[in-house]
């Protein structure tokens, strides 16, 4: 199936006729004095391969074949970078290409804007926060995190954001924004550091989950097994407390962004919530959303397990 004209126009327009690779971004229409001699050097690359086959780069996917020529599955590239991503699937997976496309289109949105140069760094961090925390798909991501299922790529974006903030020269023009950004970085780093302290990449999988050491202890050694189960439950509870703090920090950051820099920042989504799809909190088994209203303190995180819900249903 050929690519529809509408999808072609969306792709080229949203990419501003430029290669989407951040280190390239070359113009993909070569102009000439005689417009009839203009050359189009851009290529519409598939993120998921156009054929459901191993011979098609990134072709093995649940994405229906009929949707693979749609705008959402296409990325505009120069010929060189199209070749690069198709020859090295391992280093250019589907998730990474979607991220590059999103970052490029956010960059394009501001090409024609008159933005104070001192504020440009703020806008750059706003974009990085949106991508690092997958705010477009926050509900799905948060539901997985609440169940202690973390995608293997998630920490990289957060740690990179934290590092870039550490070395950045913030202008000090909007103190509220800088405080909210620093708070978000701190809360996200605290959450990740704690989560990773007792988690491991699942072999042959793309998830990071708890080690669950109690599973490897015989039932005959019930004291050791009981100790490890309680240790796991404490880790689980604290992960959700820290996730609560992270969501509160995202909302505080969003409010400051809307107030000072972008009034429409995720305005349709409104506030971000903790999404408990399976009703694990309180053992209700009913899909629930929580809107964090405060931060859990270090003292609360240090408290021992004290009720049957925390010890397990």
For 168-219, write each residue's pLDDT tens digit.
989 999 999 999 999 999 999 999 999 999 999 888 888 999 988 888 888 8
Residues in the chain: 313
Which of the residues in the chain have pLDDT under 50?
308-313
Strand partners, 27: 18
pLDDT score at 205: 80
What the block records as the tokens of 54 is: 């191993």
pLDDT score at 311: 43
Strand partners, 74: 46
Helical residues (DSSP H) of 63-116, grouped into ranges: 79-87, 94-109
Q: Identify which of 195, 294, 298 has the alpha carbon closest to the alpha carbon of residue 248.
A: 294
Percent of the chain topping pLDDT 70:
90
What the block records as the tokens of 312 is: 């397990």
Strand partners, 30: 39
pLDDT score at 181: 97
C-alpha to C-alpha distance for 216 and 305, rounded to whole angstroms:
22
DSSP state of 281: G
Count Cβ atoms below 10 Å from residue 185 Cβ, excluding itself.
23
pLDDT score at 220: 86
Q: Name residue, tokens 């009981």.
A: 226
What the block records as the tokens of 157 is: 């974006």
DSSP state of 296: P
What the block records as the tokens of 219 is: 């039932």
Q: What are the CA-CA distances from residue 203 to residues 152, 174, 305 (Å)?
A: 11, 45, 30
What the block records as the tokens of 245 is: 């703090």
C-alpha to C-alpha distance for 237 and 195, rounded to whole angstroms:
11
Backbone conformation region of residue 279, classed left if phi is above 0, alpha if psi is from -120 to 50, else beta: left
pTM of the predicted structure, to 2 decimals: 0.66
Count Cβ atoms below 10 Å from residue 232 Cβ, excluding itself.
19
C-alpha to C-alpha distance for 89 and 137, rounded to whole angstroms:
24
29-64 pLDDT, tens digit each = 877 666 667 788 899 999 999 988 888 999 999 899
Q: Could you give the angle at the alpha carbon of 69 between the alpha carbons of 64 and 73, nearest 5°?
A: 80
C-alpha to C-alpha distance for 85 and 95, rounded to whole angstroms:
12
Q: Name residue, tokens 């995190």.
A: 145
Q: What are the CA-CA distances from residue 49 to residues 1, 55, 68, 76, 94 (Å)?
A: 13, 9, 7, 14, 9
Q: Name the 3-class secondary structure at 76.
A: strand
pLDDT score at 309: 46
**Helices and strands (H, E) in the chain, number of each type:** 10, 9
């Amino acid at each position: 199936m050929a690519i529809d004209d509408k999808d072609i126009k969306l792709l080229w327009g949203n990419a501003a006729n430029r290669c989407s690779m951040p280190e390239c971004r070359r113009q993909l229409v070569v102009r000439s004095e005689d417009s009839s001699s203009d050359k189009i050097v851009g290529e519409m690359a598939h993120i998921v391969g156009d054929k459901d086959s191993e011979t098609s780069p990134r072709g093995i996917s649940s994405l229906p074949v009929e949707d693979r020529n749609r705008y959402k599955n296409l990325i505009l590239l120069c010929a060189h970078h199209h070749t690069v991503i198709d020859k090295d699937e391992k280093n250019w997976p589907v998730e990474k290409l979607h991220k590059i496309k999103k970052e490029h289109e956010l960059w394009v949105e501001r090409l024609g804007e008159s933005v104070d140069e001192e504020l440009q760094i703020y806008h750059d961090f706003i974009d990085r926060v949106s991508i690092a925390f997958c705010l477009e798909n926050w509900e799905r991501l948060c539901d997985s995190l609440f169940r202690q299922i973390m995608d293997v790529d998630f920490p990289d974006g957060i740690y990179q954001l934290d590092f870039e903030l550490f070395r950045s020269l913030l202008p000090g023009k909007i103190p509220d924004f800088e405080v909210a950004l620093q708070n978000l970085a701190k809360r996200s780093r605290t959450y990740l550091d704690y989560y990773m302290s007792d988690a491991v990449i699942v072999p042959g999988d793309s998830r990071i989950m708890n080690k669950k050491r109690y599973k490897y202890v015989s039932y005959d050694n019930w004291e050791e097994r009981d100790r490890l189960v309680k240790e796991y439950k404490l880790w689980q509870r604290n992960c959700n407390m820290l996730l609560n703090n992270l969501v509160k920090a995202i909302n505080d950051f969003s409010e400051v962004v809307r107030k000072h820099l972008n009034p429409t920042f995720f305005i349709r989504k409104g506030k971000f919530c903790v999404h408990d799809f399976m009703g694990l909190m309180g053992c209700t088994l009913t899909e629930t959303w929580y809107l964090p209203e405060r931060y859990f303190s270090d003292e609360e995180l240090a408290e021992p397990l004290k009720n049957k819900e925390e010890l397990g249903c």
